[in-house]
Structure formats: structure tokens, C-alpha cells
Copies of this chain bind each other. A is one copy, B any other.
Amino acid sequence: MTETFMRISVLGAGSWGTTLAVLLADNGHTVRLWARRESHADEISQTRENPRYLPGVNIPAAVAVTADIDYALEGAGMVVMSVPSHTIRELCDAHPLPEGAIVVNTAKGLEEETLERLSEVIVESAGVDPGRVLSLLGPSHAEEVSRRIPTSVVVAGSDPDACRTVQSAFSNGYFRVYTNDDVVGVEVVTALKNSIAIAAGIIDGLGFGDNTKAALVTRGLAEISRLGSAMGARTETFAGLAGVGDLVVTCLSRHSRNRRLGELIGSGKSLDAALAEMVMVAEGVRTTRAAVALGRRHSVELPIIETVHAVLFDGRDPREAVGALMTRPLRGETTGPAEPDRRS
């Protein structure tokens, strides 16, 4: 088979959109990168760098940078969405996507008002065939991909041909894309893990250790799996790159914004004070609200995410909250009724 080069539009010139534009250009595609602000587009065009969001990475000439979204979208066979999750609907409402284009969502989150997954938001607002909307997600900090550090991710979609087209367009020697048809599982776990990342950061801020965080990651994955299964996801997805992989990188990495936000809160800052210290969006705050609502809708208990919600929005004391999680009645590891507590 021969290599197929495409015309690809990347919407959003944050760290991840910029990284993917560079990667796609590396792979031989013709790329137009859309930045919301004219001054930002000009700065990138002129310096061939994105100093605010991705300093030190050269942006090759094969990436055309523009603030004109219609020009960015013109004739694209693939549209990569890298805008903040809460701006996706407005963007798709306002700008028709090219007919027949494959749309690749790369944002992790849920729409707060509707509790919809982001590919659902795109299908609805852009009026695209569901099989043509895919999500490319997984453990992939932009700071590392842009330095060509080996990375593996998942493309989730219901149409196998579209999945393989995306897999082929993005894959190269340092970026490995696996396909997965469990769109619900991949989107739910990558969204909700941002709440668990905040919890992991709180644990760091409190000065607890690796044991505590390993338990948190495991039990956090278990509660996300319960909710995902209730929504129709497959269990294997939670053990995969979008599940375990993404959770690990987010909870432990020095690059994670959500973990950092939690760390500030764990060390005693208020939510407002912590948010004020962040340059980039921490999606997990919004996701935590949506996740608690989703849990109620599906009658699934989410002890860790509900605790994060109470710490963020109801002023619950982080140390007391972690203590309460540790001293729930003793039980078996898999879900089911609690076993008798022999210590009471």
C-alpha cells in the first residue's frame, strides 16, 4: 500500500493542537493550524514557534498558521479539534465543517450542561455522520510528543475504515496509534480521570506518598469503570491506554495541570486562588461537576470523585476527606456488598 497524504485542518493552537500540527506535517501532510486570536497566529507565523504554549519547538513551513477559520477548514479531508471542551459546540455551530471530512476530537471532557461526550457534541452541533467523528486520546503530554519521545495513544471510533485512516495519518516512529471501537469507554475514562488527577494532586499537597497514590489511582479507575460500564463501555478499555495509561501519566506526571491544581489545593489554597495560579485550563474542575451529575443519573457511587467535588466546591477539608476515604468499612476488592467489618 502507498502512503496517503491529506490536507488536514487543526483547530486550536494550544500546546496539543500545535504539537499535532507539527507531527502531521512531519508525516508529510499539508496542515493548516487555526489560532483563535489574530495576534497569536501572527506571532507563530513570524517566529515559527508558539512561545506561550509550546516554547522551544520549531513549527515547520508545512504548517500554515491562520486566524481565519474558513481558510483553515477549506478543502480539509480531516479536521482535528484541539479547542477547550466547553468551546466545541459554539465553534461547530458557527462554522460548517467541510463535507465528508473525518473529524478527530482530541479534547478530554464532558459538556457540563448536557453531560454529553465530546464526540456527541460534535455530531450534534456539526451535523456530521457519527462514524466520521473519532477521538484520539491517551497518555500524551504535548511537551514530550513535541520532543519526539515515544508515545502510544488510542483512536476510538465506530467505523473501522475511519479508525484506520486516522491511525495511518498520525502514526510514525515515535507516535503509535492503536484503534478501539469502544467510543463511550475511551471518552468517559479520559474525561473522568481528570477528577482523579486532582485527587492525586491533593494527596501530593498533603505530603502523602506513592502507596496512597497507587491506591487512589486503582480505586479511582474502579469507580470510573463502574460508571462507564453502566453507560455501555467495555471493561477492557479501562485497562488500556485511555484508561490505566492516561490515568497513570496524569496522576504522576509533573506536566499535568489537573494534578498541579490539586496539589495547590492540598497544600491549603482555595479553588479560586489555585485557579489564579494556572496558565492553562484545568479541565478537571468542570469535569468533576459533570461526573457527579452523571453518577447520579446512572445511580453509580463515585466516592473519590464526590470527595473531590466536596473539597473543590463545598470547602471540605482535604486531610479529613482523605482520612474518611481510608476508613470506610473493610470489604472485598471487587464491587459487591461489603463484607462484615471484624474490627468494629
A85 at the binding interface (Cβ < 8 Å): no
Contact A334 B236 (CB under 8 A): yes
Chain A contacts with B in 289-344, Cβ cutoff 8 A:
322-323, 326-327, 330-334, 339-340, 342-344
A238 contacts chain B at the CB level, 8 A cutoff:
yes
Q: How many residues of A contact B (CB 8 A)?
A: 73
Tell me if A35 is interfacial: C-beta within 8 Å of chain B. no
A218 touching B238 in the complex, CB below 8 Å, given contacts A178-B332, A340-B164: no
Give the distance to chain B from A176, nearest Cβ to Cβ, in Å. 6
A344 interface neighbour in B1, B4, B245, B332, Cβ under 8 Å = B1
User: Does A275 sit at the interface, judged by CB under 8 A?
Assistant: no
Stretch in contact with the other chain, from A91-99, A102-110, A139-147, A260-268: A139-147
Q: What B residues does A225 contact at CB under 8 A?
A: 239
Query: Closest approach, in angstroms, between the C-beta of A170 and any C-beta of chain B?
Result: 10
Report the Cα distance A246→B151, complex, angstroms: 22
**Chain B residues near A235 (CB-CB < 8 A):** 235-236, 239
> Beyond A218-B245, A334-B240, is A326–B210 a contact (Cβ under 8 Å)?
no
Q: Is the C-beta of A211 less than 8 angstroms from some C-beta in chain B?
A: yes
Question: In whole angstroms, how far apart are the Cα atoms of A97 and B141 in the complex?
Answer: 52
Whether A342 touches B211, Cβ cut-off 8 Å, given contacts A180-B333, A239-B238, is: no
Q: How far is the CB of A35 from chain B (nearest CB, A)?
A: 25
Judge whether A158 is part of the interface by a CB distance below 8 angstroms: no
| Chain B nearest Cβ from A188, distance in angstroms | 15
Whether the Cβ atoms of A144 and B209 lie closer than 8 Å is yes
Task: Decide if A333 touches B221 in the complex (CB within 8 Å).
Answer: no
> Which residues of chain B have C-beta atoms less than 8 A from A237's C-beta?
333
**A245-B214 in contact (CB<8A):** yes
Q: Are A252 and B248 in contact (CB under 8 A)?
A: yes
Contact of A152 with B by CB under 8 A: yes
Contact B210 A168 (CB under 8 A): no
Closest B residue to A143 by beta carbon equals: B209
What are 10 residue pairs bridging A and B, where the CB atoms are less than 8 Å apart in the complex? A139-B210, A139-B215, A150-B215, A151-B211, A152-B218, A174-B326, A176-B326, A214-B248, A214-B249, A215-B241
The 10 closest A-B pairs by CB, nearest first: A139-B214, A152-B215, A168-B342, A218-B245, A214-B249, A151-B211, A178-B333, A144-B209, A149-B209, A210-B253
